[in-house]
Amino acid sequence: MKKYIISIDQGTTSTRAILFDQQQNIVAVSQEEIHNSFPQPGWVEQDANEIWLSTLSCLSSLFLKSGAQPDEVASIGITNQRETTVVWNKKTGMPIHNAIVWQSRQTAAIVERYKKMGVEPLIKEKTGLVLDPYFSATKIRWILEEKNIQNTEDLLFGTIDTWLVWKMTNGKVHVTDVTNASRTLLLNIHTLDWDKELLELFDIPQNMLPQVVDTSGIVGYIDPIHFFNTSCPIGAMVGDQQSALFGQSCFHKGEVKNTYGTGGFLLMNTGDTPIHSQKGLLSTVAWKIQDEVCYALEGSIFVSGSLIQWLRDGLKFFKSAKETEDIATSVDSCNGVMIVPAFTGLGAPYWNDECRGAIFGLTRGTDIRHLVRASLESMAYQSKDLILVMEEDLHQKITHLKVDGGASANCFLNQFQSDILEIPVYKSVMTETTALGAARLAGLACGFYKREDFKDGKLEEFLPQRDHESIEKLYEKWKKAIQATQMY
């Protein structure tokens, strides 16, 4: 009898495999951190083979931990860091370069080349995106140019969903879902297919591209060799931010969620039509399930939880991200310190790929506690920047915010977010909402779950506690810091 769904959440910081039962409860979790390399300032790369091996290893330890049997699994859902680009040789199965991570700025010169051609309006109209190194197309171009590739016959491109499914099926299935495809700069979000004009523009041969499929639906079966001699359908592929929107039950137009993972991502469900932002937000596909197509308006922040990781690994301030909550609350304020974590430039709404991070307001009285607190506060200020432009874009007030992602475990952050936005913040008690989204979508594909089963879980509430005047003053300082960072 089928009792479970497995959700694989392949994020920028770690890979997780999570077992969900029929009631959408978590039965077991296994997790492995992923290494990042920084070959040059502003560049971020990962080893695509490490990503695949960590997935296999998380799947194995999930069974060991839970005692579940592979033949009790109804379906596997995959949710993933988006845009990260892998190009591999289909004969050898080996990547021809490291995976270029979404955060990486290494294609800035290529982006400049295209900007000079005046193609930004065309790209925005077709893809809902801005012309920026963030997205996959210029990353593919960079790899082809770097490796001086003349013949692409044996090469395949994929984002992480595609790479994992190709590996899981031993090279039989080369697909991507619409949500991931909508982050490449190559998908026309109106027709939901690869756009010939854009493929020509970026000089990317269609034979390298995966077939675009629905977000929920069986795309193939994991090869029994990777799954204890059992075959199991792969029932969903979905970008992690869209998955969190689904996992947070934002099924209606106007509903919003904010995720604090490696980066920060605010998404609003905009129903069956894409909104063309005037304020630097992105239009993206939220999901496609047969005839149902849903779009989202998105604000993307490049550095959110990864700032905490830098304090941990780069500056060695503490051993575990968890400690930051106690450190931050051990002081009453940041003592005038502001941090703008523009390690790889600034994403929405600024789209500045040249500026780099900055710390303001240092004195002899500054210590680790103030820097930690300022780092957490910067995650909330960046989200406020997005909420304000989203409200302006839509002429609509956002009345509350649902939050998730690794850093939403931090109650100081959630409280400060509520204070600085002056609206309630709701954190789902079940923190794995990204994985839940993919589990739901995979469960739908095989009839394990029904749509009416999907409701909000238990929520923890954070209400604004500070006076309006002090909030205004703090936010003004943040805006000055952002301006100064961009002028440096």
Ligand X SMILES: O=P(O)(O)OC[C@H](O)CO
Binding residues for sn-glycerol 3-phosphate: 12, 82-83, 134, 240
Query: Which residues have a Cβ under 8 Å from the Cβ of 121 and sit 6 or more positions away?
Result: none
Of 344, 353, 352, 313, the closest CA to residue 43 belongs to: 344
For residue 287, list its beta bridge partners.
294
Binding of ligand ADP by 122 (CB under 6 A): no
Q: Does 435 bind ligand ADP (CB under 6 A)?
A: no
Say if residues 301 and 417 touch (Cβ distance below 8 Å).
no
Helix axes 368-394, 411-421, angle to 10 degrees: 50
- Least separation in angstroms between residue 290's CB and ligand X is 24
Residues contacting residue 132 through CB under 8 Å, at least 6 positions apart: 111, 347, 351, 353
Gyration radius from the chain CA atoms:
21
Q: Classify 353 as helix, strand or coil.
A: coil
> Residues comprising the binding site for ATP?
12-14, 262, 305, 309, 406
Binding residues for ligand ADP, total number by CB under 6 A: 19
Q: Are 212 and 50 in contact (CB under 8 A)?
A: no
Nearer of residues 36 and 270 to ligand ADP, judged by Cβ: 36
By the 10 Å C-beta count (0-12 exposed, 13-18 middle, 19+ buried), 436 is classed as buried
Give the integer Cα–Cα distance in Å for 44 and 37: 6
Q: Contact 4/21 with Cβ under 8 angstroms?
A: yes
Closest separation in Å from C-beta 440 to ligand X: 18
Q: How far is CA 483 from CA 210, 264, 452, in A?
A: 41, 20, 47
**Are the C-beta atoms of 136 and 158 separated by less than 8 Å?**
no
CB of 14 to ligand X, least distance (A): 9
Among 158, 261, 341, 443, binds ligand ADP (CB under 6 A): 261
Residue 111 tokens, joined = 């982006």
Closer to ligand ADP by CB, 13 or 49: give it: 13
Map residues 71-110 to x or -, x wherever contact with ligand X holds by CB under 6 A: ----------xxx------------------x--------
Do residues 342 and 356 lie in contact, with contact meaning Cβ atoms separated by under 8 Å?
A: yes
> To the nearest whole angstrom, how small is the minimum distance from the Cβ of residue 346 to ligand ADP?
18
Told to check if 306 binds ligand ADP by CB under 6 A, we report yes
| Minimum distance of ligand ADP from residue 377's CB (angstroms) | 12
- Among ligand ADP, ligand X, none, partner that 410 touches (CB below 5 to 8 angstroms by kind): ligand ADP
CB nearer ligand ADP, residue 249 or residue 324: 324
321 lines the binding site for ligand ADP (CB under 6 A): yes
Q: Which stretch binds ligand X (CB under 6 A): 145-153, 186-194, 245-253, 256-264?
A: 256-264
Residue 410 as a binder of ligand ADP (CB under 6 A): the answer is yes
Does 255 sit near ligand X (CB under 6 A)?
A: no
Number of residues that bind ligand X (CB under 6 A): 13
User: Minimum Å distance from CB 305 to ligand ADP?
Assistant: 3
Do 325 and 33 meet the contact criterion of CB atoms below 8 Å apart?
no
Q: Is 95 helix (H, G, I), strand (E, B) or coil?
A: strand
Q: Looking at 7, 12, 106, 216, which residue binds ligand ADP (CB under 6 A)?
A: 12
Interface residue list for ligand ADP (CB under 6 A)? 11-14, 261-262, 305-306, 308-309, 321-322, 324-325, 405-407, 409-410
Interface residue list for ligand X (CB under 6 A)? 11-12, 81-83, 102, 239-241, 261-263, 300
